[in-house]
Structure 1
Amino acid sequence: MVGAPRGPLLQFVPMHRPAVAYQFDDVILNPEAFSVEKSGQVLALEPKSIRLLLYLIQNRSRAIGKEELLRSVWEDVAVSDNALTRVVAQLRKALGDDAKVARYIETVPTIGYRFIAEVVELGGGAPNLAAGLGPPAAAPNLAPRNSPWALTAALALALLGISAAAVFVSRTRSAQPASWSGTVLGGSIIASHPRISPDGQLLAFRAIIDGQSQVAVMRPDSSSWTAITHDRANGAVARFAWARDGSKIYFDREWGPGRIYSIGALGGEPRLVLENAWMPEPLPDGSLIAQRPSSEGRQQLLRFWPDSGRIQVLPATVRFTDSPNVRAFPDGRAIAVFGLPANAAGPPQLFTLNLQSLEIRNLASPLAPAETLREPLAVSQDGRSVCIQRRRDDTVDTIALPRSGSAPPQTLISLPGIGGPISQDVAPDGSIYMDHSEVQLSILNLSPSGTVRAEIPIPQFAEGEGRHTVIALPDGAVVFDMRRRDRSELFLGRNGAEPQLLLNTPESAALPGALLGAGNLAFIIGAEDNPHIAIVSLHDGRVIRRFPGDARLVTAITAPADGQTIYYASNGIIWAQPVTGGDPRKIGEGSDLAVEPSGKFLYLVRTSADGYQLFRMPAAGGPATRVLLPPGFNLAEHPLSPAAVDRNGRVILTVDVPDVFFYQAAIFDPARNTMKLIPVPPRVVVAGAGWTPDGNIATFVGRWSSSLWRYRISK
């Protein structure tokens, strides 16, 4: 998901405060001496050239129009564009720059110019990233950990506006300590995903209105807000972002393969921009970064130019998530990604991707290893740092990492682990907007008609939830995974009892997995960079077999009732692994799967231009037949349960319906081509639903709440 310090990580002070000097490559611009040196020699430049260079450097995060340059550099003197062109040419010649292959001053067609070189600010010393501040004060422990009261206490503290400790990086030699204070903003009852406009005047957010998500806007200091989208027939709004000039908002709708639209900043008629894609992230040149499902079960990054229709496949993938994992830098030259480079496997990495050279630079550091990081991503308005979340014990830190990799991470804001954001954004004035989203997880045992027979609360560990897969056992217990202490663990849950660890091992243990007969379980064991499929005994928690194959790309595991074969999907390929050992056998293609209890047929999930598709094929291998869903339902991007198919051939699916934001669990009967939604409480997220051995349904549910907050440096 490398050089000397290059100034502050986030601009919490006015951007143009004079520095003693600026350096790029072998060039030093000294504003006080009003001189430019190259390789130690003072360049013979006229004053207008020096003023122009200074203005370009101080505003290097953006392209600057010709009129602004003429007004700022020539002030009240009336001159033509030719004067600007002449001074730019003089600067390029003196600096050894080339207009066709720019190293310093780039021509931005129809706009003006932009300074593109990396700049080091001299004279203030290296930034002190931790001056005068210790770790944030811990919130009072008002209730036993993991009890229902812990969530209530943490939320109450947040609503009281606890100040979160941070480090304030200034341009002066001695950075002063500072703290942040948060203020809850207006918005809908469930409001999330704040994105501030380029001028800082309007805040866009995702509002849940009558069960469906829409794009809404508000002034940050106002309690009133307005929805600017209203469509309920084409799926939920997932992600959106401002165009760089603030004139419009790009947004997507998750229905079928997904579509990206644009709409005016204050509303109007949406315009379709791109089909079979979602998660738009605009660039200054008008192109978009977008995501599209891949056959391997991940999200492929694309770059799309609306004017020409050109699409470029980028060498990176990300996981499907509701949190932003791709953000563009303001200069448009690179993007920050929390995902994987092309052809890589393992846990997500934090890196930058240069959009010109396609070069990848890793941003994780020993003080912020990749395994402790999680979405959401944001970038500072000056383009010098990337903000991301770091899990630390029972705390979620918003940290800033320098884009250049030249300094350790800086902790900005710390929150209780159960109240971390799913989205955040940095404003032009340095404020940080985020949502406080909390999901109370539990596992329900439901009848097919929706009657709740049992509920098992899930501990709210700071490291986050697991895969949201639940495996029901014959005795009524369930197996699920959660992350804590920087690794995944398998838990055994029972109605009315605290969840217990299933394995007695220091190794990481995770799902996907599947029940093997009545007494064993297939799962993933080992570190994230070297995992394997293994079998554990449910009677004593002992690992009884490990398979040698690399499981880093395994996305699904299932097994028939006899427990003799493990079927799994890895990198878009379906394999059959005999439980007794030996080599696995390739039998088909797909990123997800579930087997009929008889072991004769598999249901597969594949991706195409039509979105996620369901197929059925013989478990021994052979042609796969597409299974069409009834009209009004689309397969959602959620894994199938390993027990998705019952003995009568009915399949439990997670589906999208066009007029509801929340995913629904439904019982699909292929023989009758009918789909029946499983009733659940309103505003509940459903995931991982599958059949229990006694014919009921076990599923994860999440009760979600979310509000908008703004954090500022305390005065």
Structure 2
Amino acid sequence: MIAHKSFVFTFADVEVREREFRIVKSGEVLPVEPKAFRVLLFLVRNPHRLIGKDELLDAVWNDSAVTENSLTRSIALLRRLLGDDTREPRYIATVPTVGYRFLCDVKVAEDGFEGLETAEPQPANSRKESEPPRGTNGDRISPDHSQIQTAAEDRVEEKVEQPSDRRERLPKRLLVPGSIAAALLILVTGFFVYRAIRDREARGNAIRPAGNTTASRMHFVLLTTFPGEVRWPAFSPDGEKIAFMWDGENPVKGDLYVQLVGGESPLRLTHTSSGYICCADWSPDGREIAFGRCDDRGGGVFTVPALGGPERKLTDVVCHFGRAGYPKWIGNGRSLLIVDRCVPDGPGGIVVFSLETGEKRCLTAPPLYSEPGDMLPAISPDGKTVAFSRMSTPNRSELYTVELSGGNLRQLTHEGNRVGNLMWSSDGQHIIFIFNSSRVGLGRVWRVPAAGGAIEPATIYPATGALSRDGRRLAYLYPTGEGSWEIWRTALSSPGGQVVSRNRIIESAGWNSAPQPSPDGQQIAFESCRSGQCEVWRTAADGSKPLQMTFFDNGFSGTPRWSPDGKWIAVDHHTATHGQIYLIDSEGRNLHLIASGNYENVVPGWSRDGTAVYFASNRTGSWQVWGQNLATGRETQVTHHGGFAAFEAYDAKTIYYSKFEGGGIWSTPVGGGEEKQITDALHLGYWGHFAVTEAGLYLLDADAFPRPTVMFYSFQTRLLTPVMQLEKNPIPWTANLAASRDGRTVFIAQGTFHSSIAMAENFQ
């Protein structure tokens, strides 16, 4: 037998520890996905050499059918972890359309560990063609030891490839549909999948996440492996069932389900027809589940029997980005903790709601300028203290606590960024959270003492999520945000006419959205996170020749809009403080600020003569459309009853706009006058899914059956007619539909997401 020696690769202040499957930077362990780790491992084994994309895909994904998006995404993850810069890379340089080069000198040392054993070399005809050697546990090891594929992954692959169908394997960069995608999702997680938890000990050991110092006693399993996205896991009081939201049977919207831990068939409890559903929480007796629902009419908190039955609305609440109420049961089940306004038109606060009397008692009163306010309440194990996130802007929040009896408000973080995914430790001494900050270990799990103190890495829990009542089980999402957002172009026979062709023109790892064609139709501006930071990009009309246009140091940029002469692009840029409007020339130069202030200015649009820019602002306390004369800088309020994304008609007589809270498309004369509703078909979250042409409006009806449908509103007939159903899911809360002036070309961003619920056990 030949022993496989494991190595430690060192560059700059980073160690890549092959045996431990860890990346250590400045003494701190960085959380990393298995495939991204293997990409880095291959790069550091080949420093300074240009490595083609095909070579990397073959080395890391070998026989799997994947897209180049998987590689691009892994590179972006590594850059974020290492703190690399795409403009001035220190570690990984991209050679456009070709591949990548690792820039650092790398020191290699054996770590003194003799790892997986491989069989003695055999003649090629003595084993399957091209099959790499295997370790004693059945794991496959590549000849240069740059990758290890576990026997468990092999077993999943064997389920994917049917023995009765041995046709030639698909090319590696074909998209993987249906059950194959679900199986590959299991590979990415790196967990063994156990269908029945009660007998998991007899089935083998689960793989532990890298970098967790207390993981040796834990067991890890996947509770769900459904296609699509799951969210908001919650344990029943006895810890034997789990509730969650899933969009597999109701795409776009999702519904509430319950499943036995270790079971395979979830029970559907709701049937959502419009809007969004979120935030499941079990009643103390396990008989009901509370949840929030949000649509064009507003938000509400509901309950539904845990074994199925009719929904019951408890109270109206404020909606924020499609999430309503965040309900949490209190004590004996006669009250709920919810998020609602404590003053009219004010931000959300933490409220105790009595199910017996309907009374609402406010525990917090965030400043009136906070938007959206207090969110994500979490009750301590002893039921006496509430932790929550206070959002002063959509991109900035801090962690607070308040006593359930009222008073003793305490701010625990002062980082000036964003806190999310709150969870109490089982002993109630710490609050666990995800910190989106500039700290080393971006996105990792942190903790802070509930009594106040220093923030430090949380080493007990692999993630944040839902703890069982006894604190021995943690349910959490893995992976989070897996998927791709693509931009498609559709050619039509006439405005609102038959579809001639549909083509995907822009795709990469991460976010690609907000497409806008240039006035001459030769270029497309859009927003993308392909570089690891969300910026505005530009391509040719067919999606080729991508060029990054903005290079901000922090925050994210998007919503590009071309000037009528095609010489300028208006964009919004969001920081932790506020979003503001900038202009940049069509070559990516001469960036300058045009709208600013201690409030939000977002989603620009142009007047048809190019002398003014419209934008949405909340400076008056509600979202309204404003306009700025570029010559004088004078700003004028355009709408007075709510307004968001605005486009001026090609005849320069009418302004068409949506509303942030939903409720269709509206119009008002350019010079001022009556505001009229054109259609109610543009729903909550889809304020950016409409476009103005010479002949009419294109818009997305997200509630259309059986799939979200692009519609056309004719200015001549005033009729709304369907044009095409989306093949994938639309992406809400951003601008994702555009059209050419003649109405014969439509651009839309759509995508798919994947996540599962994983469970970790035995923390004590």
For normalisation by structure 2, the TM-score amounts to: 0.62
Alignment partner of 2:639: what SS?
strand
Q: CA deviation at 1:597?
A: 2.9
Specify whether residues 616 and 310 from structure 1 end up closer, same or farther in structure 2 by C-alpha distance, changes over 3 A only: farther
Q: 1:594 aligns with which of 646, 662, 667?
A: 646
Partner of 1:656: 703
Q: Report if aligned partners of 1:318, 1:325 keep a CA contact under 8 Å in 2.
A: no
Q: CA deviation at 1:679?
A: 1.6
What pairs with 1:544-623 in structure 2 (closer than 5 Å)?
A: 544-547=591-594, 549-550=596-597, 552-571=599-618, 572-589=623-640, 590-598=642-650, 599-606=652-659, 612=663, 614-623=665-674
Q: Residues 635-676 of structure 1: CA distance to partner in whole angstroms, max 9, x if unpaired?
A: 1223325x722222314245334x66x765443447524252
- The one-letter code of the counterpart of 1:708 is I
Unaligned runs of 5+ in 1: 1-129, 169-175, 416-420
Q: Report if aligned partners of 2:645, 2:659 keep a CA contact under 8 Å in 1.
A: no
2:696 is equivalent to residue 646 of structure 1: no
Q: 1:431 aligns with which of 457, 468, 473?
A: 473
Q: 1:350 aligns with which of 367, 389, 398?
A: 398
Partners of 1:293 and 1:653 in 2: how far apart? 34
Q: Report if aligned partners of 2:537, 2:549 keep a CA contact under 8 Å in 1.
A: yes
What pairs with 1:16-415 in structure 2 (closer than 5 Å)?
A: 134-136=29-31, 139-141=37-39, 143=56, 147-150=68-71, 156-161=187-192, 162-165=207-210, 178=216, 182-186=220-224, 188-190=226-228, 192-193=230-231, 194-208=233-247, 210-211=249-250, 213-229=254-270, 231=271, 233=273, 237-257=277-297, 258-275=299-316, 278-284=324-330, 286-290=335-339, 304-311=353-360, 315-316=365-366, 325-331=376-382, 334-340=385-391, 344-345=392-393, 347-354=395-402, 357=406, 361-364=410-413, 369-371=415-417, 373=418, 375-390=420-435, 396-412=443-459
Partners of 2:544 and 2:440 in 1: how far apart? 25
Specify whether residues 627 and 705 from structure 1 end up closer, same or farther in structure 2 by C-alpha distance, changes over 3 A only: same
Q: 2:547 aligns with which of 491, 500, 512?
A: 500
- The one-letter code of the counterpart of 2:365 is P
Partners of 1:260 and 1:516 in 2: how far apart? 44
Q: CA deviation at 1:535?
A: 0.9
Partner of 2:684: 636
Q: 2:515 aligns with which of 470, 481, 487?
A: 470
Specify whether residues 204 and 507 from structure 1 end up closer, same or farther in structure 2 by C-alpha distance, changes over 3 A only: closer
Partner of 1:103: none
Q: Residues 151-210 of structure 1: CA distance to partner in whole angstroms, max 9, x if unpaired?
A: 698863314455224556xxxxxxx67575532123643351211123322101123353
Partners of 2:412 and 2:644 in 1: how far apart? 31
Partner of 1:706: 755
Partners of 1:187 and 1:154 in 2: how far apart? 8
2:536 is equivalent to residue 490 of structure 1: yes
Partners of 1:709 and 1:357 in 2: how far apart? 35
State the aligned residue count.
Answer: 549
Q: CA deviation at 1:481?
A: 2.9
Q: 1:441 aligns with which of 485, 506, 518?
A: 485
- The one-letter code of the counterpart of 1:602 is I
Specify whether residues 492 and 210 from structure 1 end up closer, same or farther in structure 2 by C-alpha distance, changes over 3 A only: same
Partners of 1:302 and 1:613 in 2: how far apart? 31
Partners of 2:261 and 2:610 in 1: how far apart? 57
Q: CA deviation at 1:541?
A: 1.0
Specify whether residues 544 and 160 from structure 1 end up closer, same or farther in structure 2 by C-alpha distance, changes over 3 A only: closer
- By relative contact order (CA 8 Å, sep 6+), the higher-ranking structure is 1
Unaligned runs of 5+ in 2: 1-24, 43-55, 61-66, 74-180, 193-206, 319-323
Q: Report if aligned partners of 1:318, 1:338 keep a CA contact under 8 Å in 2.
A: no
Specify whether residues 427 and 588 from structure 1 end up closer, same or farther in structure 2 by C-alpha distance, changes over 3 A only: same
Specify whether residues 650 and 201 from structure 1 end up closer, same or farther in structure 2 by C-alpha distance, changes over 3 A only: same
Q: Report if aligned partners of 1:178, 1:714 keep a CA contact under 8 Å in 2.
A: no
Partners of 2:466 and 2:719 in 1: how far apart? 44
Partners of 1:607 and 1:504 in 2: how far apart? 28
Q: CA deviation at 1:523?
A: 1.6
Specify whether residues 484 and 387 from structure 1 end up closer, same or farther in structure 2 by C-alpha distance, changes over 3 A only: farther
Identity, in percent, stands at: 17
Q: Report if aligned partners of 2:627, 2:637 keep a CA contact under 8 Å in 1.
A: yes
For normalisation by structure 1, the TM-score amounts to: 0.66
Partner of 2:169: none
Q: Report if aligned partners of 1:248, 1:263 keep a CA contact under 8 Å in 2.
A: yes
Q: Report if aligned partners of 2:698, 2:710 keep a CA contact under 8 Å in 1.
A: no
Alignment partner of 2:677: what SS?
strand
Partners of 1:626 and 1:709 in 2: how far apart? 46
Specify whether residues 577 and 679 from structure 1 end up closer, same or farther in structure 2 by C-alpha distance, changes over 3 A only: same
Partner of 1:124: none
Alignment partner of 1:404: what SS?
coil
Partners of 1:504 and 1:619 in 2: how far apart? 34
Partners of 1:575 and 1:400 in 2: how far apart? 42
Alignment partner of 1:315: what SS?
coil
Q: Report if aligned partners of 1:380, 1:386 keep a CA contact under 8 Å in 2.
A: yes
Q: CA deviation at 1:413?
A: 8.5
Partners of 2:475 and 2:660 in 1: how far apart? 35
Q: CA deviation at 1:537?
A: 0.3
Specify whether residues 192 and 210 from structure 1 end up closer, same or farther in structure 2 by C-alpha distance, changes over 3 A only: closer
Specify whether residues 514 and 552 from structure 1 end up closer, same or farther in structure 2 by C-alpha distance, changes over 3 A only: farther
